[in-house]
Amino acid sequence: MSVGDPPSGRQVALALAVLAFAPACHRKAPGPEECREFAYQALGVRSEADLQVPGALKRVDDFTTECLLTPFDRELLACVAQGLATRLCLRDFDLRHPTNAPVLPSRAERRPREFPFP
């Protein structure tokens, strides 16, 4: 085959197969940078000054870790990015993925997620 020859049927089929499976390679769960940005948005961090609040950086780190380990989906991240209430977005996530919902402690031990900012 020379440079000017048209592609063979086999080459066309291979190209179509690559294109057909390309979306499957897209990562479904968010990565570290996306989870960090999600944590900032979910916890209301808008500037470096917000991170100076005692315990804020630890909460951001904890939320980022939770995002990576659960794993949260892109729909949850988009919900929070749109400015909707984080608790509402998390509830919807738990309804979509009941197997990923954290095991809740007994009523006596239960406490809501902690957010560093009102």
pLDDT in tens, 30-52: 899 999 999 999 999 999 999 99
Using DSSP's 3-state secondary structure scheme, residue 11 falls into helix
Query: Mind listing the pLDDT tens digit for each residue in 96-108?
Result: 988 765 554 444 4
pTM score: 0.60
- For the chain, what are the domain ranges? 32-99
Using DSSP's 3-state secondary structure scheme, residue 1 falls into coil
When pLDDT is averaged across residues 86-103 and rounded to a whole number, the result is 82
